[in-house]
Copies of this chain bind each other. A is one copy, B any other.
Amino acid sequence: MARKKITIKDIAESANVSKSTVSRVLNNNTPVNEEKRLAVLEAMERLNYKPNVVARSLAGGNSMTIGVLTQNIGSPFYDKVTQGVIQGLSDTDYSPIFADGRWDPEIETSAIKTLIDRNVDGLIMVGGNLPGSDLDSLRDSKPMVIVARRLPGWDNKCISVDNVAAAKDATEYLINSGHRKIAHIMGIPEHQDARDRYMGYQAALRDSGIALDEDLVVKGNFSSQSGVLAIESLLMKGVSFTGVFAGNDEMAFGARLAMYRRGIRVPEDVSIVGYDDQPNSAFMTPPLTTVAQPAEPMGEAAAQALLAFMRNQEFVPPRLDTELIVRESVHRIR
Contacts and interface: CB of A to CB of B under 8 A. Distances in A.
A55 B58 contact: yes
A117 B53 contact: yes
Most B C-beta atoms less than 10 A away, residue of A90, A224, A280, A284: A280
A296 to B, nearest CB: 10
A83 interface: yes
A260 B224 CA distance: 22
Interface in A215-254: 224, 250, 253-254
Interface in A92-119: 95-98, 100, 117-119
Interface in A45-75: 50, 52-55, 57-58, 63, 65, 72
A106 to B, nearest CB: 15
Closest 8 CB pairs of A and B: A253-B283, A285-B285, A54-B57, A257-B283, A260-B285, A58-B58, A224-B283, A54-B58
A86 interface: yes
27 contacts: A53-B117, A53-B118, A53-B119, A54-B54, A54-B118, A55-B58, A58-B58, A72-B86, A79-B79, A90-B100, A96-B98, A98-B98, A224-B279, A224-B280, A224-B282, A224-B283, A250-B280, A253-B283, A254-B283, A257-B284, A257-B285, A257-B287, A260-B286, A280-B280, A284-B284, A284-B285, A285-B285
Contacts of A79: 79
Contacts of A254: 283
B253 A280 contact: yes
Nearest to A260: B285
Contacts of A65: 97
Interface string A113-130: 000011100000000000
A53 B256 CA distance: 49
A52 B54 CA distance: 11
B86 A98 contact: yes
A110 to B, nearest CB: 11
A57 B50 CA distance: 17
A76 interface: yes
Tell me whether chain A's interface is mostly helix, strand or loop, or mixed: helix
Nearest to A278: B280
Interface string A250-268: 1001101100100000000
A285 B287 CA distance: 11
Contacts of A57: 54, 58
Interface in A278-324: 279-280, 282-287
A188 B312 CA distance: 47
Given A254-B283, A284-B284, 20 more contacts: A50-B117, A53-B117, A54-B57, A54-B63, A54-B118, A54-B119, A57-B58, A65-B97, A79-B79, A86-B98, A95-B118, A96-B98, A224-B280, A224-B283, A253-B283, A257-B282, A260-B285, A280-B280, A284-B285, A285-B285
Contacts of A283: 224, 253-254, 256-257
Contacts of A72: 83, 86
A290 to B, nearest CB: 13
A256 B285 contact: yes
Nearest to A114: B95
